[in-house]
Amino acid sequence: MLVIFDWDGTLLNSLAKISHCLQLAAADAGLERRSDDDIRGIIGLGLYEALATLYPGAPQAPLELLRERYSHHFMIKDQSPCQLYPGVQETLDELKSSGHHIAVATGKSRKGLDRVLGNLGWESYFHATRCADETLSKPDPLMLSELLTELDFPVQEAVMVGDTEFDLAMAAELGMRRIGVSYGAHPLPRLRSRDPEAIIDSMEELLRHL
């Protein structure tokens, strides 16, 4: 089986850092501060899509400055790396030792994902990864289709695990199995709207469910 994971809010406890850096960047760009709930609602999208959703109708120049300042603040804050959620390391290790393939489908940039994988010493840990800046942003299912092709798995032998409606929506578009996690960015009603086969409260539950 191929188990595809979202990154922020699913494997890595980084939501507070993302929100804080976006609020700092908004101040730098002269844009109105958004609430933590507003920011959590767009986590999972590619950065350009996320910022355009947070600031609909905003001119391109302040949005570009916002993007640049967010990246600046995040790189500084990421000198103190975020932690994996409890049970993530053990669950991933067990999946690999059991012969499963594991992959990542994330709204992060390639540069950002490679940096955090390097911090963890995981440069070659996953069988494949796909980032929003090298394909289409969630909820378009293209990144999942590309992972299936790269790793030579039929959709019937894959499952998507994520904390946002965007993760589950792209899997649903392909008819892929999908499992939500309750501890991430999106509240339960948004996850349930995409008919996941399960919503788990901790990563350890994934092994029992699969």
Q: Is the backbone peptide bond immediately before 139 cis, with ω within 30 degrees of 0?
A: yes
- Calpha distance 55→51 (Å, rounded): 6
Residue 64 binned pLDDT confidence (cut-offs 50, 70, 90): very high
- Calpha distance 157→188 (Å, rounded): 26
pLDDT greater than 90 at residue 78? no
For position 79, what pLDDT does the model report?
A: 82
- Calpha distance 168→159 (Å, rounded): 10
Name which of 118-122, 166-170, 178-182 the model is least confident about.
118-122
- Calpha distance 73→70 (Å, rounded): 5
Model confidence over 124-156: pLDDT tens digits?
999 999 999 999 999 999 999 999 999 999 999
Domain range 15-77, CATH architecture: Orthogonal Bundle (1.10)
- Asked if the domains at 2-13+84-209 and 15-77 fall in one CATH topology, the answer is no
Model confidence over 17-52: pLDDT tens digits?
999 999 999 999 999 999 999 999 999 999 889 999
Helical ranges in the chain per DSSP H: 15-29, 36-42, 47-54, 60-77, 88-97, 110-120, 142-151, 165-174, 188-192, 204-209
pLDDT greater than 90 at residue 178? yes
In the CATH scheme, what is the homologous superfamily, with its name and number, of domain 2-13+84-209? HAD superfamily/HAD-like (3.40.50.1000)
pTM of this structure = 0.94
Joined tokens for residue 193: 């709207």
Can you give the residue ranges of every domain in the chain? Answer: 2-13+84-209, 15-77
Three-state SS for 134? helix
Residue 80 binned pLDDT confidence (cut-offs 50, 70, 90): confident
For position 83, what pLDDT does the model report?
A: 94
CB 4 within 8 A of CB 146: no
Residue 172 binned pLDDT confidence (cut-offs 50, 70, 90): very high
pLDDT greater than 90 at residue 210? no
- Calpha distance 181→196 (Å, rounded): 10
For position 128, what pLDDT does the model report?
A: 98
